[in-house]
Amino acid sequence: METYEAVAPTRVDLAGGTLDIWPVYLLLEEPVTVNMALALPARARVSPAPRGRFLLRSLDHGTEERFPSLADCLRRAKHRLAAEALRASPRSGASIETESGVPPGSGLGGSSALAVALLAALSGHSGSASLHHGLALLASNMEGRVIRVPPGTQDHLASAFGGLSAWHFGLHGVRREALPVSPARLARRLVLAYTGVSHSSAENNWRVVKGFLDGDRGVVRGFGEVAAAAREVRAALLRRDLEGVAGGMERDSRARRRLFPGFHTERTLDLARAARRAGALGGRPCGAGGGGSMVFLLRDEGRREPVEAALRARGATILPAAPDVEGVRVRRVS
C-alpha cells in the first residue's frame, strides 16, 4: 500500500443552506443552494501500517488512537469520521492522519470536507468530474452516520467540485450549475470572519427540518422564504449583480432568523451592524448560524480594510476568502 494525501476545500454558503437536506428539497419549489469552495482545505493522509493494525491521528484535536483490528477500530474509535471512512473503504491495515482547514464549529463545512478528503485518500484518487457526485454522496452518507441526523450534501459537493456553484435539488437528485461570476472577483468583495463561538449545524438544522416535516406552518413558510432568497442570489449572480447578491443574502438572513431565532445571536448581530457601518452591503452567518463564521459582501474592494478592522475590534478573526476552483485532489506521497 502506498501513501496518499488528499486535500478538499471547505465552502462558504451564500444562500439556500438546509434546502439540500433530504427530503426537504422534494417538498419545495425549485430549491437551490449557492456556495463557493474555499482555499481552506481539509487534509487526510493514508499510509501503510502493519497488517491488521490501525492508527488514527487527529492533528486538530491532538489525539492518537491505535487498534489491533478494523473491527476494534469501528467499535471503539473516537475519531468517528476516520472510522466511518474505513467502514466505507476497508483496509487490512492503515495509518490515517487528518487536519481540518477551518476552526471547529465554524459553519464552513470543515467536517464535510474532511469526509471527502478521507474517502479520496483511501481510494488513492479523486475521480473524474463524473464521479464527483458519487464521492460527495458517499461522504454525506458517511457523515450522517457520525452526526446521527439527516445530513445535507451541499458541503460535500462544493468540496468535491470546487468553484462557485448553484446546486439544484429535485426528484432526479442534484444538478450543478457553474455560475458565470469569476470566483476570484467575488472573493475580492467578500470578508469572512470567525466569531470565536463554535456551533453545531447538525443540531440547529435538525430542529427546523423536524418542524418542517411535522407541518409547522411557520416553519414551512420560513423554508419557502429561504428558497426564494436563494433563487434571488442565484439570479443576481447570473446578472453579475453583486449588489443584488448582497440583497439576497440579507433576505436569507432575515428569513432564517424568523425560522430559527437562534440563527442570529447578540454577537452576530453586533458584528453585522459593525460591518455595515464600515462598508459592507450585507451578509449573513454561515451554515446554520448561532455562532461559527459570518460572510459579508463589501460595497467595493476599498472597504475591505475598514470592515476587517471593525470586525477585529469586536474580537472576530478574519479568515481568507480565496476561492478553490479545483475541488478535491490527491497526490501519491510514496
Instruction: Convert the pLDDT of each residue in 80-119 to its tens digit.
Output: 999 999 999 999 999 999 999 999 889 999 999 999 999 9
Architecture, CATH, for domain 4-179+324-332: 2-Layer Sandwich (3.30)
Q: Which pLDDT belongs to residue 34?
A: 98
Q: Look at 76-85, 145-154, 192-201 and tell me which has the smallest mean pLDDT.
A: 192-201
Instruction: Indicate the pairing of strand 293-298 with strand 173-178.
Output: unpaired
Provide the residue count of the chain: 334
Collapsing DSSP states into helix, strand and coil, what is residue 29?
coil
CB atoms within 10 A of CB 126: 24
| Amino acid identity for residue 86 in this structure | L
Per-residue pLDDT, averaged over 33-43, amounts to 98
Secondary structure (DSSP) of 75-100? HH-S-HHHHHHHHHS--SSEEEEEE-
Give the percent of the chain with pLDDT over 90: 84
Domain 183-319 maps to which CATH number in 3.40.309.10, 3.30.70.890, 3.30.410.40, 3.40.50.1000? 3.30.70.890
Exposed/middle/buried for 65, CB within 10 Å: 0-12, 13-18, 19+?
middle
107: Cα separation from own chain's centroid: 6
Q: Where along the chain do its domains lie? A: 4-179+324-332, 183-319
Q: What is the pLDDT of residue 93?
A: 94
The pLDDT of residue 287: 85
When mean pLDDT is compared across 262-266, 300-304, 330-334, the lowest value belongs to 262-266
The per-residue pLDDT for 187 is 97
Position 129 confidence tier, pLDDT thresholds 50, 70, 90: low
Give the pLDDT score at 130: 60
φ/ψ of 204, rounded to 5, equals -65, -45
The whole-angstrom separation of Cα 71 and Cα 73 is 5
- Report the percent of the chain where pLDDT is more than 70: 98
Average pLDDT for the chain: 93
| Integer angstrom CA distances of residue 236 from 20, 74, 179 | 20, 46, 10
Q: Give me 131's grid cell.
A: 464521479
Q: Could you report the per-residue pLDDT of 226-245, keeping only the tens digit for each?
A: 999 999 999 999 999 999 99
Query: How far apart, in whole angstroms, are the C-alpha atoms of residue 294 and residue 283?
Result: 7
Torsion angle of C-alpha atoms 120, 141, 42, 268, degrees rounded to 10: 160
Tell me, letter by letter, the H, E, C secondary structure of 260-286. Answer: CHHHCCHHHHHHHHHHHHHCEEEEEEC
**If pLDDT is split at 50, 70 and 90, which confidence band does 328 have?**
very high
**Burial class of residue 300 in the structure, from the number of CB atoms within 10 Å of its CB (0-12 exposed, 13-18 middle, 19+ buried):** exposed
Secondary structure string (H, E, C) spanning 95-141: EEEEECCCCCCCCCCHHHHHHHHHHHHHHCCCCCHHHHHHHHHHHHH
Cα–Cα distance measured from residue 44 to residue 56, given in angstroms and rounded to the nearest whole number: 11
> Is 90 exceeded by the pLDDT of residue 52?
no
**Set of cell numbers at residue 200:** 453545531
Q: What is the pTM assigned to this prediction? A: 0.95
Confidence of residue 127 (pLDDT cuts 50, 70, 90): low
